[in-house]
Amino acid sequence: MATTYETLLFEVQDKTATITVNRPDKLNALNPTVIRELTRAVYEVSNSDAGAAIVTGAGDKAFVAGADIAAMSKMSTTEAKAFSDAGHRLAWHIEQSAVPFIAAVNGFALGGGTELALACDFIYASEKARFGQPEVNLGLMPGFGGTQRLARRIGIGRARELVYTGDLVNADESLRIGLINRVVPPGELMVAAREVAAKISSKAPVAIARCKRVMALGADTDLATACELEASAFHGLFGTEDAREGTRAFLEKRAPKFEGR
């Protein structure tokens, strides 16, 4: 039976999962309930037949406009720690999932919205998208990994500038600095995201999962160790049915039929 969500829309169709933060009246802001449900949805994706997942926001104004400031304003330090821990767990589950996650950013992605997008494997954005870590304007700082993932994505110098100033960047500038992968007209965003998700889903699931794992681990280690990780994962794939099917299909000049084994 499909899971019922209070703050999300969730579906898996043609091996593509779509998770939509569904609080358009609040610009899809993150509160503890949204974080908890997103984590559950990531778990559901990881245990489905989805070959790729898209994360987006409801409406045409915001992907996720940040954390829910009204909710945060009432938090004690203990509650704030629990909120931050929950956000970090969500990002960790996205990164640890064998399924690639694509952020489809349709509007504002501020604070926790940028952090949610950064936890995904890559980001497609509407021309209307805006990114930023404006927490310093509230006397706060990023709490869901923004100080770390943003620097890894765009370099420490640019990340410091955005975090210290709280400035926002538009879609074109985000593409220029390497924060996002692609900019498309608003009406074409989900089409573009679904097209790339379908392409990924057509590949061998075990190979995709190994690629994701090795690239994530290798990014935080030295080159020699990272190449050892790659070599180990590479030769391990030769024992899979998908590798045998893929090479056989190539030689037989036909499309492969991967089973994820």
* CATH number of the domain enclosing 85: 3.90.226.10
Are residues 135 and 220 located together in one domain of the fold? Answer: no
- Give the sheet arrangement for strand 108-110, strand by strand: 62-64, 108-110, 130-132, 168-170
Same domain? 190 vs 239:
no
Same-domain pairing of 167 and 187: yes
Tell whether 132 and 245 lie within a shared domain: no
Does 256 fall in a domain? no
Q: Which of 94-103, 148-157, 182-191, 225-234 has the lowest mean pLDDT?
A: 225-234
Residues 59 and 168 in one domain: yes
Asked if residue 261 is part of any domain, the answer here is: no
Give 111's DSSP letter: T
**Domain annotation covers residue 17:** yes
126 within 8 A of 107, measured Cβ to Cβ: yes
Same domain assignment for residues 116 and 212: no
CA distances from 257 to 141, 182, 197, 236 (A): 47, 29, 17, 20
Domain count across the chain: 2
Average pLDDT of the chain to the nearest whole number: 93
Task: Report the CATH number at residue 220.
Answer: 1.10.12.10
- Give the residue numbers spanning the domain of 241: 205-251
pLDDT at 66: 86
**8 Å CB contact between 86 and 134:** no
In a domain, 191, yes or no: yes
Contact 177, 158 (CB under 8 A): yes
Q: What amino acid positions are annotated as catalytic residues?
A: 115, 135
In a domain, 86, yes or no: yes
Cα(29)–Cα(23) distance, integer angstroms = 7
Q: Are residues 187 and 68 in the same domain?
A: yes
Decide if 55 is inside a domain.
yes
Asked, for residue 1, whether it belongs to a domain, the answer is no
Residues 194 and 239 in one domain: no
| For residue 1, pLDDT beyond 50 | no
Quote the pTM value.
0.93
Residues 105 and 77 in one domain: yes
Mean pLDDT for the stretch of residues 161-183: 97
Please indicate, yes or no, whether residues 54 and 116 belong to a single structural domain of this protein: yes
